[in-house]
Amino acid sequence: MDSEDDSPLGYDAFRRTCPSHTVLEMLASKWVYLTVCALRRGRLRNGELARKMEGITPKMLTQTLRVLERDGLVRREVFPVIPPRVEYELTELGQNLAGLLSQIRSWAEEHAPEIKEARGRASADHDEMAAS
Amino acid sequence: MDSEDDSPLGYDAFRRTCPSHTVLEMLASKWVYLTVCALRRGRLRNGELARKMEGITPKMLTQTLRVLERDGLVRREVFPVIPPRVEYELTELGQNLAGLLSQIRSWAEEHAPEIKEARGRASADHDEMAAS
């Protein structure tokens, strides 16, 4: 192990039993990325989130919001009106994470053309090998 | 849609058909995070990577390295010795991503105690509701 890699707090995401490893696991979800990015500008209702994230199923959205709420990244507020209105917003910790995840999202958007090209080359190489 | 959210290149990770969405999907893996972080300091062999990432199966490691190679983030070099030696290193694009993913890893290590606490509270609330 490289000592420079060590966290000053003694946490090490490379160790499966380290709590930070389970935090990485939680973050390893495109819906977590997108939900946190979507809430960055302010609170949204369930339906607004669903419309923003193309392709998310109601079940996946509920599951993602529950995980984010459980981990203290998102706060859920229920307004006692009829029908009840439920809104979600980032906590301070969630806002802190949102800055980083937005950079990942921007990186994905900025480098998508390069990666698409690399994928095209890889698949052409594969076809060539299969044909020879 | 919020126009400030738009990427200057017209890419939008919220759209399922956008190439950047599939880049986010590729990034949404704890093994991708950890492999890229592990290679940040220089090239490593398969066995060295496997030892660094506690809990990764040989199959998952191979799969992760193939995806990273396909997407142009990792370069694989085979040395014609007996037995053959295979080494992996980050490409320039991979190095660029590694800076960001290391920040995510540091964030996970730094905030693991807070998140652990939030999880504890959530599970206590859940037990209380179940008991009442």
* Domain ranges within chain B, ordered by starting residue: 30-131
pLDDT of residue A5: 53
pLDDT of residue B1: 42
Distance from CA of A132 to the nearest CA of B (A): 20
Distance from CA of A101 to the nearest CA of B (A): 8
Which chain B residue is nearest to residue A48, measuring alpha carbons? B1
Q: Regarding predicted confidence, which is higher, B76 or B131?
A: B76
Is it true that the peptide bond before A83 is cis, omega within 30 degrees of 0?
yes
pLDDT of residue A4: 47
Which chain A residue is nearest to residue B8, measuring alpha carbons? A110
Proportion of chain B above pLDDT 70, given as a percent: 93
Nearest to A108 by CA among B89, B12, B107: B12
Distance from CA of B25 to the nearest CA of A (A): 6
CATH class of B30-131: mainly alpha
Residue B10's pLDDT band (boundaries 50, 70, 90)? confident
Choosing among 3.30.460.80, 1.10.10.10, 2.40.128.260, 3.40.50.1100, the CATH entry for A3-131 is 1.10.10.10
Among the listed ranges A36-40, A79-83, B1-5, B94-98, which one has the minimum average pLDDT value?
B1-5
Q: Which residues contact A67 (CB under 8 A, 6 or more apart)?
A: A26, A32
pLDDT of residue A3: 42
Please write the tens of the pLDDT for every residue from A68-97. 999 999 999 999 999 889 999 999 999 999
Cβ neighbours around A52 below 10 Å, total:
18
CB B11 within 8 A of CB A109: yes
DSSP string of B55-108, one letter each residue:
T--HHHHHHHHHHHHHTTSEEEEEE-SSS-EEEEEE-HHHHHHHHHHHHHHHHH
CB contact under 8 A, B24 and A54: no
CB contact under 8 A, A13 and B105: yes
Where would I find the H helices in chain A? 19-27, 30-38, 46-52, 58-70, 92-131
State ipTM. 0.85
CB contact under 8 A, B122 and A70: yes
Please write the tens of the pLDDT for every residue from B36-76. 999 999 999 999 999 999 999 999 999 999 999 999 999 99
Residues of chain A with pLDDT under 50: 1-4
In the beta sheet, which residues pair with residue A78?
A86
